[in-house]
Structure 1
Amino acid sequence: MPIAKPDVLELECNWQTGFQYRPGFRGALGYLLEWNGCGGLNLTKELTLFSPTVGDFGPKAQCIGLIERLAMNGASGPLDFSVYVGRVTAANVLNHFAKPLENLRLKLAWAIIDFDEAGDTWFEAAKLKSPATAEALMDTEKGRPKVFLDNQPATLADDLDIRFHRFQFRVVPAPKKSTTLEFATNSQERRVTKWGSDK
């Protein structure tokens, strides 16, 4: 299916499978690869997971968490993330955003891969083309950062007592900064858009 508006889209990923990927799975997997900023919140890549090999990505992925949902609303609009993270990362986020923050600037990176049934191959569904990290600001509402962390963790599966917390946040482009993003819905078609502005 063509991307009619490459700067307006919503991607959903199977985060549970991402934590326990096995060959044979067909579907979207998303990874939060970097988060640094907001006055010193530098989240570590505490997860090392098996993944499909797509270009330079895989067969193991080191990441902060697994993306459940990524939505983009316009070339200068917000990016909404829903990401599942481990207990240590969740605690760091909770402690950091519990205090007032003057600096809401951050750098982040992500990757989403998907499987093309028609082409029988994996492809990059969302990636940062240039630069490798996006410069952004936490979006705010009434002066408060748009951040939400589930207090109750989700279990990976009924028979696995492994717990992860859903971390939701919204970012907007940093002033006078832009990032070239690439999106795809199959292995043959690409759409490139610029998020933010250099002016």
Structure 2
Amino acid sequence: MGKIIVVAGVPGTGKTSVSRELASLTGFQLIELGRYALERGLVTGFDDERGSYVIDEDALSREVSMLAGNSEGYIIVSTHYPEILDPSVVEKVFVLRTHPLVLEKRLESRGWDRRKINENVMAEILGVVSYNALTVFGEEKIYEIDTSNTTPGEVAGLVADILSNKAVIPPGIRIDWLSVLSAEELSRFESYE
């Protein structure tokens, strides 16, 4: 039975680029979960307000678990909602974190509207992806990595080193953007108008 290595984070933290680099570096199969759901028709509709598809989480989770069950090696799963995966097939969860002001610039460069930027930056500030992963997988499986000033290749190399026990980084949640942002900086992201 194969095991899943999750690369997670809010949009703009680098999960797709890091996952692709990691797959290239390790030879592991890569599943970009959102794209996979669309390709397999595992969606229940489209959310006009958010401008995104609504995933059939149960069906998607079952299918990914079956893939792991039929695999011999590791599968990298890139996602911003790791909590839908079955914890019994997940070995490690790498949550990519990016300083909110850096993340804001990355999302602006994508041409996103202010509401979508604020929603995603606030999710990063509050550590939503880390918290959701923590509630499902436990702290011992979660590794937070700050991608604010690193390349996808550097992050992929670090993940590969952690997987091969070459890098000794303890698991757990350690990044706290609330402690480094001023009240003025925080207030910029509070409105979803």
TM over 0.5: no
Identify, as 1 or 2, the structure richer in strand: 1
Normalised-by-shorter TM-score class: under 0.3
Relative to the length of structure 1, the TM-score reads 0.25
Identify, as 1 or 2, the structure richer in helix: 2
